[in-house]
Structure 1
Amino acid sequence: MKRTIRKVTVLGSGIMGSRIACHFANIGLEVLLLDIVPKELNDKEQAKGLTLSSPLVRNRIVNDALAFAAKSNPSPVYNKAVLNKIKTGNFEDNMAEIATCDWTIEVVVENLKIKKIVYDQVEQFRKPGTLITSNTSGIPIHMMAEGRSEDFKKHFCGTHFFNPPRYLRLLEIIPTPETDKEVIGFLMHYGDKFLGKTTVLCKDTPAFIANRVGVYSIMALLHLVEKMDLTVEEVDKFTGPALGRPKSATFRTTDVVGLDTMINVANGLAENVPNDEQKEAFVLPDYVKKMQENKWLGDKTAQGFYKKTKDKDGKTEILALDLKTLEYRTQNKVKSATLDATKPIENLKDRMKVYAAGKDKAAEFFRISFSGLFEYVSNRIPEISDELYRIDDAMRAGFGWELGPFEVWDALDVKEGVEMMKASGKTPAKWVTEMLEAENQSFYKIENGNKTYYDIPSKSYKAIPGQDAFIVLDNIRANKTIWKNAGTTLTDLGDGILNLEFHTKMNTIGGEVLAGINKAIDIAEKDYRGLVIGNDGANFSAGANVGMIFMMAVEQEWDEVNLAIKMFQNTSMRLRYSSIPVVVAPHNLTLGGGCEFALHADHVQLSAETYMGLVEFGVGLIPGGGGTKEMTLRASDEFGNEQIEQNVLKEKFLTIGMAKVSTSGLEAYDLGYLLKDKFSISMNKSRLIADAKEKALELADAGYTQPVRRTDIKVLGKYGLGMVYAGANTMRSGNYISDHDQKISQKLGYVMCGGDLSAPTLVTEQYLLDLEREAFLSLCGEKKTLERIQSIITKGKPLRN
């Protein structure tokens, strides 16, 4: 059947419920958020003379919860306008409205009796055929469906979002034996395409997949800490970014999530997995029990494994918990030869081999912990999943691991991983030994551009389902690369569309990337139909390689600096004025030059999570790759819409001058970095390259023609400069900005006003580019600019001088 979701009800407005509601509103749906009615008035309500029948009182719980969510950081919404799509109400007055909804999601307290009471209400009003799902993480899904109508059971399923729902990509789908297969298929597809999730089909087992494996991993580590006499700082250093894990690593993540949350899941597993060979791992260590007694639960109680305090000088200091004495102390610097050896290695899989071969405490920790993890996940098949790839998918999307456990095992080489396990007293599941005996040497293979996994029942490799919707550059690069240099690779995506990816550190833009873009356009214009600029890295681009600019400026090689700026500008203009459509596909950090490339693309196909901005002001510069010119051009185009010209210019000026960075792809449009009808958003980052390819094909099929260079850009001259200079002087007088900030502001304003022309004038793009380059070059000669650049390069911190 054809199923369309237009309106969703979320029952329960707590931490998860309110944020799930926000995420459905993010994708444009109408949302009804309901919760219970208060049983008594609070002090403010009594002071106002309200009663329990007053609408404000009856909806107080849900309204307070939504307001709290809206103010939380990071924000659960793409922009504040999203909140207008959410209507609040309560279970008594508004439950009948679920009859107008296509999907009802229950997110009430983890109590089966309470959930069944809520379902009794739902059955009274729910329209037959609509979806009804639960976000439970601890109650078996089949138990919640007991006693319900046949239609309810048929359309009922577990949909376990991970917190925060906007940012963590995992959505576990847990059907019951009665769930209709059409419903399962729909939820898997809808979660992927529209909610932007990695949807993982799970069995109805305790804690499903991600929490079963993830909490085991954390609990085993908590016990290992005692055995190896490790500190909180050491563990977080060993299990952080160097290992492909989030910066918050283990203990800091536990503080953020809440130690009580982890304890509840661990206790539930200790009770409900009697046949788990590692069930003792779920028993809390004594120091964790003591922390629970002390209510040291993490951020929610202002102390956990870490505690923020102030020293005698009033400076903020973050103390670490000594796990032996349970007293807080100053953090110790962690040193490790193994970690040092991994730093220059960009490829995470290669880094794993260095970890395993090391001789220090970090390496020993790696070998013991991963040996246990390998044993555990191999033994969980087929208990929690029939397919090994689902476990890796769940751990990457739910816990932020760059590599799942079977992928790490593959990186080490499966045979060598088994030998490592034996040395640690661990044994893989029988099926792993049988796989190796049959001369199948890995859990995954790339075959004809598709990733395949080892299927245990058939003892053969099968393609991972759903890959036809994705283009994974890692999978096609070996056979589809048609050109590359030190910083870029040009790949044939098929159907006449090429993709250029960057692979410099943080995908920064230097000479090799600029050369790669120009070469890609040359090749595309000659033999292809279009070009995508996108990559599968952690970030699209952190901007221009300021280190290169710094070195040339220090050596006073001004001709070289000028040529570098000109090449950057010419490359941006080449993106705009090539004879083939160019689609830029940004995601995550898209700063400085990366943003400038997006500004000049024919179309921007961006991830919902894109943090875009022109941030050059922070290093004492103005956007010099065409960004200042382009924002001036866009201001000019808005002048004709009955806008007050100085206000429009001021808005664009402040966007650059305040180095505004969007907190989402949608907000990048609000800030003026994207143009209406010239951008699309991919909710699922995994679909980004494929979606960008489709857009390039669409533009080519529509008969794309090369645009004509603009000669009609209106600049305000002295009429605008007066406003810019007066504003900068006022900010300086109030000590809001430094002398150098004032100078940069004046340079920026000079370019955006077209110089000190006596009257508003129409100018060309090249005129503005020349002014932009001149201003950028002059700022490179400023001592304070060089100090700012040096601070970013050496300390990674902005300097305000």
Structure 2
Amino acid sequence: MIRRINKVAVIGSGIMGSGIACHFANIGVEVLLLDIVPRELNDKEKAKGLTLEDKVVRNRMVNDHLTASLKSKPSPIYHKDFAKRITTGNLEDDLHKVKEVNWIIEVVVERLDIKQKVFEQIEKHRSPGTLITSNTSGIPIKFMNEGRSEDFRKHFAVTHFFNPPRYLKLFEVIPGPDCLPEITDFLMGYGEKFLGKTSVLAKDTPAFIGNRIGIFGIQSLFHQVKELGLTIEEVDKLTGPVIGRPKSATFRTVDVVGLDTLVHVANGIHENCPDDEAHELFRLPDFIEKMVQNKWLGSKTGQGFYKKTVNGDGKKEILSLDLDTMEYRAKKSAKFATLELTKTIDRPIDRFKVLVGGKDKAGEFYRKNFAAMFAYVQNRIPEISDELYRIDDAMKAGFGWENGPFEIWDSIGVEKGIELMKAEGLEVADWVNEMLAGGNNSFYTVKDGATYYYDIPAKVQTKKPGQDAFIILDNIRKTNEVFKNSGVVIEDLGDGILNVEFRSKMNTIGGDVLAGLNKGIDLAEKDFQGLVIGNQGANFSVGANIGMIFMMAVEQEYDELNMAIKYFQDTMMRMRYSSIPTISAPHGMSLGGACELSMHADKVVAAAESYIGLVEFGVGVIPGGGGSKEMALRASDTFRKNDVELNVLQEYFLTIGMAKVSTSAYEAFDLGILQKGKDIVVVNKDRQIAQAKKHAVLMAEAGYTKPVKRKDVKVLGKQALGMFLVGTDSMEAGHFISEHDKKIANKLAYVMAGGDLSEPNYVSEQYLLDIEREAFLSLCTERKTLERIQHMLKTGKPLRN
């Protein structure tokens, strides 16, 4: 039987409930969101003369929660219109509507008695065969199952989302003891394919996989910080991006999540896992107890490990908690010689060998930290998972780790990891010794483009399931490499499709990347049938290499700069006018030149989490790689009979002039950066390259022909230019923009108007590219533009001058 999810009911509208409801709305599902009825009126309701019987009062709880969620940043919703897919109600008047849904998700308070009461009420209305799951993070399923019907139990599981549901990829599926295998399989598949998650099958053990390992890691650090005499800044420096973890690292992450949340989970593990060999590690240190007593819970209470204040000069300042004195003090910088040794190593996975060999306090910290983690995860098999890869998947998807514990252990060597453990007096699990004795020297291997893991019961390397829907560039790069330079690797994806993968720092687009793109097109036109531009880094690309532009401009090498910009423009035009289909696969930050690249591809297969925009105004220039031309062209293509064409053009002008960046791929359609009917969005980023390849094959096999160059772009000339100039004058007069902002905007106006033509006319793309390049170059001669570029290079933030 094919099971389809057209409508879900979410019971409980708190932070998690509303977030889950929004994410189902994100993927096009109709949502019924329910919560309890208030027991008394608030002051506003009393003032309006409302009663407890009024619908607006009865739905106040759910509506207030959903409204707060939709206003939160980052937003839980891909596009504001998607919130219309959510209908709200209350558990007394509207619970009967669950009979119409395909899936009921319970997200009420973490109390067994309340959950049992809710399930009892749901069963009165639930249609047989309907999926029913709980988002609990710790209550055993056998207790939630008590008193429930056979059909309920057969379709009941825990589906544990991580907060915020839109952004964190972990989706733990824990089947109940009576849950049908096909229901488990469906939930795992749905999480991957539709919700865009990493589905991890877990056992019904306290905190499941993600929180069990994650909270162990944090608790371990809590105990080590005093033992090693480290400050919280030093720990955050050591546990952040340098080892492939989020910028918020450890203590800042706890502040964001809330210390009370962490304490709740840690206490639960301590109480419910008496046989855990690290049982005492889950006991809270004294400084945590004191912070909880003081209600220093993090961002929600205004202070935690860090505290935001305003100093005597009226400037905002962040103070740090001194764990010895328990008083806040000015932040201290953290530096370690060991970290300096890793600066030339791009990938975190390649740094671990260096880090554990450090001779300073950092090296000692890493040796102790990884020894404790390796010892802990080896002993959780088979308690929390039968397969080691599920532990790695959970940590990467739920805690934002670039590499899981077993992958890190592999990177430093299994035997070296054992050496670290023994140095700390920790024992090695029998299965690890058996693995080595059997001639298996690593937890993972890569064969024929696929990842294999060590299967403990079978004692052999087994292919990791679920990979057929993915293309993993790390796995095919060595064997399928067709071309390589310092900026790109071109891989053969099979079926006649090549992939150009950026490999520069932050995937910036410089001469080497442009050369790689041209080489990719050359190769594809000669021996292949399509080209994908995609990578699996943290971000698609932050745009053009502004450092190179800055150096040329400072040295006044304007001929060379002109040639460099023309090379960028010509490469973009080759993307559009090649004889093979070109597919761009943006994700994460896709800014400036990266946005221009996508706008010139035949098709964009964007990850839902794509932040796309033309942001050149922030560094004092206009888009010079075809972006300004392209916005004028797209405006021209949307002119319709009886349109006020100036108003249409103005919208495209403002997209550039206000440096608008979409907060999701869906918003990029509103900005005119992605095009409806042509470009598509993929929710699961892991599937993006595979999807892009499929579309390249489809376009090629449908008989792709080289497009004809455009000479029919309608520009409005002086009519538009005059309007824009009047607008920028008034903006400057009102002190909304600076004199230099006005100069940049006027240059953009000149390009998008097609120059100062006396009347509307039709021009070629090349005409617009030439005046775009001229405007870009002229801005590069401006001192204030150079100041903006320099400031961006130094701080990563725009300068208003």
Q: Are 1:293 and 2:280 counterparts?
A: no
Q: Is the CA contact (8 Å cut-off) linking 1:480 and 1:493 kept in structure 2? A: yes
Q: Is the CA contact (8 Å cut-off) linking 1:603 and 1:679 kept in structure 2? A: yes
Aligned to 2:307: 307
Aligned to 1:248: 248
Aligned to 1:317: 317
Aligned to 1:122: 122
Deviations 1:359-378 (A, max 9, x none): 11111111101100000000
Q: Are 1:4 and 2:8 counterparts?
A: no
Partner of 1:173, secondary structure, is strand
CA distance in 1, matches of 2:633, 2:4: 41
Partner of 2:681, secondary structure, is strand
Name the TM-score, length of structure 1 as normaliser.
Answer: 0.99
CA 1:642–1:137 in 2, change beyond 3 Å: closer, same or farther?
farther
Q: Are 1:355 and 2:355 counterparts?
A: yes
Aligned to 2:731: 731
CA distance in 2, matches of 1:682, 1:464: 23
Q: Are 1:610 and 2:610 counterparts?
A: yes
Q: Is the CA contact (8 Å cut-off) linking 1:236 and 1:252 kept in structure 2? A: yes
Once the two structures are TM-superposed, the CA of residue 800 in structure 1 deviates from its matched residue by: 1.1
Aligned to 1:486: 486
Aligned to 2:553: 553
Once the two structures are TM-superposed, the CA of residue 220 in structure 1 deviates from its matched residue by: 1.1
CA distance in 2, matches of 1:95, 1:727: 54
Aligned-partner residue type, residue 473 of structure 1:
L
After superposition, where does 1:442-457 map in structure 2 within 5 Å? 442-457=442-457
Deviations 1:435-485 (A, max 9, x none): 112221100000111000001111100000000000000101111111111
CA distance in 2, matches of 1:670, 1:193: 25
Partner of 1:394, secondary structure, is helix
Q: Is the CA contact (8 Å cut-off) linking 2:714 and 2:763 kept in structure 1? A: yes
CA distance in 2, matches of 1:427, 1:715: 74
Q: Is the CA contact (8 Å cut-off) linking 2:243 and 2:349 kept in structure 1? A: no
Partner of 1:374, secondary structure, is helix
Once the two structures are TM-superposed, the CA of residue 558 in structure 1 deviates from its matched residue by: 1.1
Aligned-partner residue type, residue 478 of structure 1:
K
Partner of 2:351, secondary structure, is helix
Q: Are 1:420 and 2:420 counterparts?
A: yes
Aligned-partner residue type, residue 206 of structure 2:
P
Aligned to 2:524: 524
CA distance in 2, matches of 1:641, 1:391: 59
Aligned-partner residue type, residue 345 of structure 1:
I
Aligned to 2:263: 263
After superposition, where does 1:722-761 map in structure 2 within 5 Å? 722-761=722-761
CA distance in 2, matches of 1:560, 1:127: 71
Alpha-carbon RMSD across the aligned residues, in angstroms, is 0.8
Aligned-partner residue type, residue 583 of structure 1:
I
Aligned to 1:55: 55
Q: Are 1:762 and 2:762 counterparts?
A: yes
Partner of 1:157, secondary structure, is strand
Unaligned runs of 5+ in 1: none
Aligned to 2:37: 37
CA distance in 1, matches of 2:637, 2:530: 27
Aligned to 2:205: 205
After superposition, where does 1:181-192 map in structure 2 within 5 Å? 181-192=181-192
Once the two structures are TM-superposed, the CA of residue 146 in structure 1 deviates from its matched residue by: 1.9
CA distance in 2, matches of 1:702, 1:369: 55
Aligned-partner residue type, residue 250 of structure 1:
T
Aligned to 1:699: 699
CA distance in 2, matches of 1:477, 1:117: 54
Partner of 2:441, secondary structure, is coil
Partner of 1:566, secondary structure, is helix
Aligned to 2:777: 777
Q: Is the CA contact (8 Å cut-off) linking 1:604 and 1:680 kept in structure 2? A: yes
Once the two structures are TM-superposed, the CA of residue 515 in structure 1 deviates from its matched residue by: 0.6
Aligned to 2:460: 460
Aligned to 1:574: 574
Q: Is the CA contact (8 Å cut-off) linking 1:718 and 1:755 kept in structure 2? A: yes
Aligned to 1:644: 644
Once the two structures are TM-superposed, the CA of residue 176 in structure 1 deviates from its matched residue by: 1.4
CA distance in 2, matches of 1:495, 1:143: 52
Partner of 2:341, secondary structure, is helix
Aligned to 1:88: 88
Once the two structures are TM-superposed, the CA of residue 700 in structure 1 deviates from its matched residue by: 1.1
Partner of 2:596, secondary structure, is helix
Aligned-partner residue type, residue 485 of structure 2:
N
Moved more, 566-575 or 143-152: 143-152
Once the two structures are TM-superposed, the CA of residue 544 in structure 1 deviates from its matched residue by: 0.2
Partner of 1:125, secondary structure, is coil
After superposition, where does 1:336-375 map in structure 2 within 5 Å? 336-375=336-375
Moved more, 392-401 or 145-154: 145-154
Unaligned runs of 5+ in 2: none
Aligned to 1:74: 74
Once the two structures are TM-superposed, the CA of residue 269 in structure 1 deviates from its matched residue by: 0.5
Q: Is the CA contact (8 Å cut-off) linking 1:171 and 1:191 kept in structure 2? A: yes
CA distance in 2, matches of 1:773, 1:735: 29
Partner of 1:342, secondary structure, is coil
Once the two structures are TM-superposed, the CA of residue 641 in structure 1 deviates from its matched residue by: 5.6
Once the two structures are TM-superposed, the CA of residue 511 in structure 1 deviates from its matched residue by: 0.5
After superposition, where does 1:269-280 map in structure 2 within 5 Å? 269-280=269-280
Aligned identity (percent) is: 64
Moved more, 638-647 or 487-496: 638-647
Aligned to 2:281: 281
CA distance in 2, matches of 1:707, 1:154: 56
Once the two structures are TM-superposed, the CA of residue 556 in structure 1 deviates from its matched residue by: 1.1
CA distance in 1, matches of 2:653, 2:237: 41
CA distance in 2, matches of 1:800, 1:584: 32
CA distance in 2, matches of 1:469, 1:639: 41
CA distance in 1, matches of 2:69, 2:642: 37
Aligned-partner residue type, residue 119 of structure 1:
F
CA distance in 1, matches of 2:202, 2:146: 19
CA distance in 2, matches of 1:347, 1:244: 8
Aligned to 2:713: 713
Once the two structures are TM-superposed, the CA of residue 787 in structure 1 deviates from its matched residue by: 0.9
CA distance in 2, matches of 1:610, 1:380: 36
Aligned to 1:791: 791
CA distance in 2, matches of 1:159, 1:659: 39
Aligned-partner residue type, residue 374 of structure 1:
F
Partner of 1:489, secondary structure, is strand
Deviations 1:262-320 (A, max 9, x none): 00000000000011000101000011001111111111111111110010011000100
Q: Is the CA contact (8 Å cut-off) linking 1:374 and 1:428 kept in structure 2? A: no
Q: Are 1:496 and 2:496 counterparts?
A: yes
CA distance in 2, matches of 1:112, 1:428: 38
Deviations 1:222-276 (A, max 9, x none): 0111211211111111101111100000000001000000000000000000110
Aligned-partner residue type, residue 497 of structure 1:
I
Once the two structures are TM-superposed, the CA of residue 142 in structure 1 deviates from its matched residue by: 2.4
CA distance in 1, matches of 2:474, 2:429: 29
Aligned-partner residue type, residue 590 of structure 1:
S
Aligned-partner residue type, residue 511 of structure 1:
G
Aligned to 1:228: 228
Aligned to 2:160: 160
Q: Is the CA contact (8 Å cut-off) linking 1:531 and 1:582 kept in structure 2? A: yes
CA distance in 2, matches of 1:451, 1:104: 35
CA distance in 2, matches of 1:309, 1:484: 50
Once the two structures are TM-superposed, the CA of residue 425 in structure 1 deviates from its matched residue by: 2.0
Q: Are 1:403 and 2:406 counterparts?
A: no
Aligned-partner residue type, residue 441 of structure 1:
N
CA distance in 1, matches of 2:349, 2:228: 26
Partner of 2:124, secondary structure, is helix
Once the two structures are TM-superposed, the CA of residue 799 in structure 1 deviates from its matched residue by: 1.2
CA distance in 1, matches of 2:370, 2:390: 18
Moved more, 639-648 or 530-539: 639-648
Aligned-partner residue type, residue 358 of structure 1:
G
Partner of 1:758, secondary structure, is coil
CA 1:181–1:642 in 2, change beyond 3 Å: closer, same or farther?
farther
Aligned-partner residue type, residue 137 of structure 1:
S
Once the two structures are TM-superposed, the CA of residue 642 in structure 1 deviates from its matched residue by: 4.1
Aligned to 2:388: 388
CA distance in 1, matches of 2:662, 2:112: 41
